Structure 1
Amino acid sequence: MPTANPTHSHRIERLERGLFYGLLALLFWLPIPLGSHRPWAWALLEIWSFGLMGGWLLVNTYSPRLHSLRPYLPLLVIFGVFQLWVALQQMPLPMGLLQSIAPDTAAHYLAANPQAATGTLSLDLNHTHVGLLKGLSYWCLLFLLLALVNSAQRLKTLALVVVLTGTFQAFYGVLMALSGAETSWGLGLPNSHIATGGFVYKNHFGNFLVLCLCLGIGLLIASLSKSKALSIKEMLRGTLAMLLNGKAVVRLCLAMMVIGLVMSYSRMANTAFFASLSITGVLGLLLIRKKSRSLTVLLASLLVIDLFIVGSWFGVDKLRDRLENTSFAQETRDEVNQYGMTLIEQHPIAGTGGGSFYSTFPSVKGPGIQTFYDLAHNDYLQFAIEFGLPATLLLGAVVLWSLALAFSALRNRRNSLMQGMAFSAVMAIIAELMMLATDFHLQAPATALYFMLCLAVAWMARFMKVERAR
C-alpha cells in the first residue's frame, strides 16, 4: 500500500471533496434532461456515476474508509442482491432448471423451438440489459451518497442542494406554464398551461417536487428553536434572526415548490403531499422529544398558507375539479392492474425480466384497453411482473426498514438536524408509497434516484455520528 505523506493526503482529501461536489452537481442535473428518462440522458447518468465511483475507489485505495459504511451495509447489500438478480435474469439456464423455476417462460421458449436446450428468465433481454446498467448506476449513487455525505454539515448541504434543485424546477415549470409559448425552451417539446419543469410527464414532476419539499421541510424543522416559551421580544429577535440566517429563503423556496406542485395538476402528488405532511406532522408532535411550540406553528403554516392561500392564487380550484371529476369509467388503469395480475400468476417467482412489461403486457391485455401501455402506471404491479414477487418483497422490506429507522431517529435522536432529516424521510416514504400505486415514478431515473436519496437520508438520520458542540 502506498505510503502517505502530508502533500499526498491533501490531494486525496481534495479529490474526495471534489467527488462530493460532483455528486451534488449530478443531483442538480438529473431532472433537467426530461427527468433523465431518455437513453442519451441515462447513458450520461451511467458514465457520470461510474466515474464518481471510480474516483471514490481511488480515494479508498490511499485512504481506507470503507469501515465507515458498516451501519449502512444492509441497505447496500439488499440493493446489490437485487441487481444480481437482474443479472441472473439474463443468464442462459438449462431448460430443465428453467422449467422448474419459471415453467411458463420455459414453455415460451419451447413453443418457439422445441429443441431449445437453454433459455433465460427474461423474455426481453435487451430491455433487461438496459435496466441492469441503470440499476448499477443507481447502486453506485446510493453508495456514494452514504460514503461522501459523512458529516452533519455535508448532510445539510445535500438537503440544501435538493431544495435549490426543486425550486429551480418549480420556477422553470411555472414560468413555462404561464409564458403561453407553444413549445418548451431548449428541447422544443409541446407546452401547455400545466407545469412540468424539466420533465415531460406532469406526474413525474409532481412526484419530484414532493420529495424535494420533504427535504426542505426537514431543513426548516432542524432550524427551529428548542425553547418552549418565548416572550414577544424573543419572538421578534427570532424572526429577525430567521430573516438573516436563510430560513426565510428556504421558506420561500418551499412556497415556490408548492406553487409548482399545484400547477402540475397532478392529483396523486398533491394528495400524497398534504396527506403525508398531515400524518407525519401528527407523528412528529407525538414522537419528537423536547419539541418547541414553533414546530406546531410551522406545520400549521405549511398546511394553511400553502394550501389555502398560495394554492388559491395558482389554480388549486382546477386541481379540485380534476379530483372531483376523476372517474374509473374514464380510466383504464384499473383494467391494466387486472390484466397485469395474469402475468404475475404466470411468472410469480422469476418475473418476466426487467423492462419487459413493454413487450409482455400485450399478450394478456383484453379488448377493453385500446391504449398502448408501455408502462404499468403502478410500480408495485410492474415490479412484481418484471422481477417476481420475492425480489419485489425484498425491495418492499428495505423501504419499510428505512421507514422504521426514520421513526426511530425521530424518537431517539437529540440532534435537531437528525430529527429534521428523519421527519423528511418519514414524510417522503409515506408520500412515495401512496404515489407508486397510481403511476410509474420509479421508471424515471430522476424520481427513482431522489427516492433512493430519501431512503439513504433515513439511514443517515439514524446512524450518522454528530460531534457535540462545545
Structure 2
Amino acid sequence: MEMFKFDRPVIRALLFVLLVFTPLARAGVKPWAVTVMEMIVLVAAALWVSGRILDPILNPIMDPIIDPIIDPIIDPAGGRFKTPLDRPLAAAVALAFISALFSENPIAGLWAVAEFITYIAVFHLTVHTLRTRAQVKALVGLLAGMGALLCVFGLFKHWGMNPFPWWDYADIGRYNVRLSATFGSPDHFAGYLEMVAALTLGYLFTGVGMERRMLLTSLLVLFLAALILTLSRGGWIGLGAGLFFMMGVLLTQERFGKYRWSAAVGLGVLVLMLILLSSTPAVERVLTLRDGEAALGGRLTAWQGVLAMIAQNPLLGTGPGTFADAFTQYQPPGLSRQFTMAHNDYLHFIAETGLPMALVMAWILVAVYRTGLEKMRHPSRLVRGTTLGALAGITAMAVHSAGDFNLHIPANALLFTVLGAVVCSRTPSALPESPGFRSGDSVSSSTPIPLNRT
C-alpha cells in the first residue's frame, strides 16, 4: 500500500475544493488567497505523509481484512508509482533553491520556492489519489462545471447584472468592455478557459452517450463565446494552437478510429468560429496587435531589457520572486509604466533562476509530451480522450505563456499542474461496476496498463 487507504478520499476532496476556490478568489492572486491555497495543500500533504507513517503500523491488522476488497479498487497496480516528471521537477526545485540562497533577497526567493513546491505537491497528490475511472470523470466534470459557472457569471457581469459586488474590481476599470468573470484580468480568464475547453473537448472522444455529448457540445459553445468576449489575443492564439495539436493527433492516431475525420472537421469548424464569430471589438483587437505598451510592441521592447537582465545574470538569475525589483535596472527607456512581469513566462523564469532552468523546462515539456503520446495508444477511450484533452490544454497554455504570465496566476498554474498530472498519472482502473464502463474500454476489467512504474 502507498498510504493508509481512507486518507485518499479526503485528499481528493481537498484538491477539488482547491480547484473551486482559486478561480473564485480572484484567480488566487491576492496574498490571502495564496495562503489559503498553501494551507489546503499542506493539510492534504500532511494526510498523505501520515498515511505512509501509519501504514507499517496498521497494515498487519487491516490488510488481511480489507485488502482483498479495497486494493483492486484504489490501488490496482500496487507499489509506488514514479512519474516521468520526478527528476526534472526535483532539478527545478534545486535550481530555484540555489538561486534563492545566492540572490539579493533570499527571503523573497524562498517564499517563491515554497509556492513552487506547493504546485509540485498538488501534482503528486493528484497522481496518487486519482485511481479509478469514476474519479477521473469526476475531475473532468468538476472542471467543466466550474468553467460553465464562471462563463455564466462572467456574462451576467459583462451585461451589468452582477449581484455580487465583491467581484467588481475598481482597480481594473480599463477591462470593463472585456469579459473577465471572477478573474482580475480577461487575458488570464481566457487562459483558464482554453485549458478547460480543451479538456472538455477531449472528453467528447471517450464514447459518451448522446445526451452527454449534447451537453458537452453546449458547454464548448459557451466556452468559445466567453473566450471571444474576453478579447484576449493570447487566448485565441493559445486555444487555436491547442485545437491544431488535437487535430494533428486525431489525424495520425488510428486508435481514435471513427472520431478521426469527423473530429478533425469539427475542430476545423471551431477554429473558423473563433475567427468568423468575433465581434467588431475583437477585430479591432487583432488590428491593434502592436499598439500600446501591454500589446506586442511594448512587450517586444520590454523583452530586450529581460534579455539584458539574463545576460548579466546567466547562471543563477536574480533569484525567484525578484523580477519586479530587479527589472527596474534593465527596463528600456520609452515605457511609461514599470513592468513587474516579463509577460513571457519562459523569459521570466530564466531571468529569475538562470539559463539552466531553460534546459529543465525543455526536459519537463519533452517528458510530458512523450508520456502523453505513449498514453494515447492505450486501448481505453477514457485514457485516450482525457490525455488528448489535457495535452491540448497544456499546448494552449504553453503557447499563451509566450506572451503573458498565466503561470504566475495561481488558478491557472494550479489547473496547468492538474492537467500535467492527468497526462503523467497511471492509467485508471476500469472496473465493471464503474459508471459508464464498457467492456471494450480496457485490456482487462480490473488491471490497467501502468506507465513507468517500479
TM-score (norm 2): 0.83
Aligned partner (choices 26, 51, 54) of residue 62 of structure 1: 54
The reply on whether 1:185 has 2:165 as its aligned counterpart is yes
**TM-fit CA distance, 1:165:** 1.5
Instruction: Deviation per CA, 1:312-335: give whole Å up to 9, x if none.
Output: 3xx544323211221267631101
Instruction: Deviation per CA, 1:98-125: give whole Å up to 9, x if none.
Output: xxxxxxxxxxxxxxxxxxxxxxx21233
**TM-fit CA distance, 1:305:** 5.7
What count of residue pairs does the alignment treat as equivalent? 408
Q: Distance in 2 between matches of 1:346 and 1:465?
A: 51
Aligned partner (choices 393, 401, 405) of residue 440 of structure 1: 405
Q: Distance in 2 between matches of 1:427 and 1:445?
A: 20
Instruction: Deviation per CA, 1:259-297: give whole Å up to 9, x if none.
Output: 2111111001112212321232132221132511x4533
Which SS does the other structure have where 1:30 is aligned?
helix
- For residue 242 of structure 1, what is the amino acid of its counterpart? M
Q: Distance in 2 between matches of 1:203 and 1:364?
A: 26
Instruction: Report the CA distance shift for 1:157/1:310 in structure 2 as closer, same or farther (over 3 A).
Output: farther
Structure 1 equivalent of residue 195 of structure 2: 211
Instruction: Deviation per CA, 1:378-419: give whole Å up to 9, x if none.
Output: 111111100111123212211221012112222x21110111
Q: Distance in 1 between matches of 2:292 and 2:181?
A: 30
Aligned partner (choices 323, 326, 342) of residue 289 of structure 2: 326
Q: After TM superposition, which residue ranges in structure 1, 4 or more long, deviate above 6 angstroms?
A: 64-67
Q: Distance in 1 between matches of 2:149 and 2:389?
A: 20
Q: Distance in 1 between matches of 2:310 and 2:8?
A: 45
Which SS does the other structure have where 1:376 is aligned?
coil
**TM-fit CA distance, 1:24:** 1.1
Q: Which shifted more, 186-195 or 41-50?
A: 186-195
Aligned partner (choices 350, 354, 364) of residue 316 of structure 2: 350
- For residue 13 of structure 2, what is the amino acid of its counterpart? Y
**TM-fit CA distance, 1:27:** 1.0
The reply on whether 1:418 has 2:402 as its aligned counterpart is no
Structure 1 equivalent of residue 257 of structure 2: 291
Which SS does the other structure have where 2:110 is aligned?
helix
**TM-fit CA distance, 1:184:** 6.4
Q: Distance in 2 between matches of 1:69 and 1:311?
A: 50
Structure 1 equivalent of residue 110 of structure 2: 129
Report if the CA contact (8 A) 1:352-1:387 is conserved: yes
Report if the CA contact (8 A) 1:124-1:359 is conserved: no
**TM-fit CA distance, 1:299:** 4.2
Structure 1 equivalent of residue 452 of structure 2: none
What 5-or-longer segments of structure 1 have no aligned partner? 5-10, 92-120, 225-240
Alignment of 1:95-244 (within 5 A): 121-179=102-160, 185-190=165-170, 192-223=176-207, 241-243=209-211
Q: Distance in 2 between matches of 1:166 and 1:178?
A: 18
Q: Distance in 2 between matches of 1:399 and 1:362?
A: 31
- For residue 387 of structure 1, what is the amino acid of its counterpart? T
Instruction: Deviation per CA, 1:162-200: give whole Å up to 9, x if none.
Output: 11111112222122111266x963243136131112210
Q: Distance in 2 between matches of 1:295 and 1:215?
A: 17
**TM-fit CA distance, 1:430:** 2.0
Report if the CA contact (8 A) 1:358-1:375 is conserved: yes
**What RMSD, in angstroms, separates the aligned Cα atoms of the two structures?**
2.7
Structure 1 equivalent of residue 33 of structure 2: 41
- For residue 438 of structure 1, what is the amino acid of its counterpart? G
Structure with larger RCO (C-alpha < 8 A, sep 6+): 2
Report if the CA contact (8 A) 1:218-1:420 is conserved: yes
| Greater Rg by CA | 1
Structure 1 equivalent of residue 445 of structure 2: 469
The reply on whether 1:275 has 2:241 as its aligned counterpart is yes
- For residue 149 of structure 2, what is the amino acid of its counterpart? F
What 5-or-longer segments of structure 2 have no aligned partner? 57-74, 432-443, 447-454
Instruction: Deviation per CA, 1:62-81: give whole Å up to 9, x if none.
Output: 34779644331x41332233
Structure 1 equivalent of residue 68 of structure 2: none
- For residue 380 of structure 1, what is the amino acid of its counterpart? Y
Aligned partner (choices 77, 84, 90) of residue 94 of structure 2: 84
The reply on whether 1:449 has 2:414 as its aligned counterpart is yes
**TM-fit CA distance, 1:251:** 2.0
Instruction: Report the CA distance shift for 1:296/1:458 in structure 2 as closer, same or farther (over 3 A).
Output: same
